[in-house]
Amino acid sequence: MKEYNDAGGAEWDHVIQSQTSLFDLRLREVWHYRDLLVLFVRRDFVTVYKQTILGPLWFFIQPILTTITFTIIFGNVAQLSTDGAPKVVFYMAGITLWNYFSNCLTSVSGVFNSNAGIFGKVYFPRLIMPLTIVISNLMKFGVQFLLFLCFVGYFFSQGQIQSNLWILLTPVVVILMAVISMGIGLILSSMTTKYKDLNQLIGFGIQLFMYASPVIYPSSSVPTDYQWVVHLNPLVGLFDFMRFAYLGVGNFSLTSLLYPTCFAFVILAVGVVVFNKTQKTFMDTV
């Protein structure tokens, strides 16, 4: 909208321009578009299950079926250690956290390709879309986490697990998981705009990365000579926290969160730089 000053010159009350800094998140502008963010979150939550028979029940069915499969294959057949914790709740602890990470990472990595149509027609802060993915998946995580707490409550009442006050740090761990997945996803999203084959590679790579993370086994079961390799994975401390806080098994200390925290800040900073650089020209390559 134009406004005219006393000299007769035109002044714009709102100006849309390219990013002036690679580190510029424009969080104030994101807050201005918060209604759009809520709309996208609601869209993602509703449309995914709108035409399904069981609807939101899939939030519960997926982790339950996966837990049963892991219990039979890795717990009973392969006889992998669970540090003495009941197999069902041990695997559910890893699955609940891993599902949130993998879903966020996969979706954020394809944010440019999947939203190219709307990006090319309407202006809004592009960071809205990655934030939408993280928040909408957080709602799904919340539902699955409630299911996990039900199992924890049952086994705790049976005296088979011992939860502790470390559970108060759960929001911190979830935020770290969200930041790490978003940071890595932002980096990968810039690469998938030019190299479409990466979409296939990302899905395969995430499956392999699950086995490099203590989802189906405790980190304590890894041979001593390879412990340092395993702990290069920033997710290890987060999974160790989940088992130690809620099941009372494994080893965990506050310093275990230091590396994931530093990694989260660094990878998010790199992801923001790459994302801000790519969003200026991605329409030419997508």
Which of 127, 152, 62, 151 is CA-nearest to residue 98? 62
Its pTM stands at: 0.85
Residue 108 in tokens: 């954020």
> What was the pLDDT predicted at 171?
94
> What was the pLDDT predicted at 99?
93
**Taking the CB of residue 153, how many other CB atoms lie within 10 A of it?**
12
Mean pLDDT by 10 residues, the chain (286 residues): 52 58 64 84 74 68 89 90 92 94 91 76 81 89 92 93 92 95 90 76 89 91 88 93 93 88 94 80 54
Q: What are phi and psi of 132, to 5 degrees?
A: -60, -45
> What was the pLDDT predicted at 12?
64
> What was the pLDDT predicted at 178?
94
> What was the pLDDT predicted at 52?
61
Q: How would you classify the pairing of strands 10-12 and 2-4? A: antiparallel
Residue 120 in tokens: 């090319």
Residue 29 in tokens: 């502008």
> What was the pLDDT predicted at 48?
67
> What was the pLDDT predicted at 6?
54
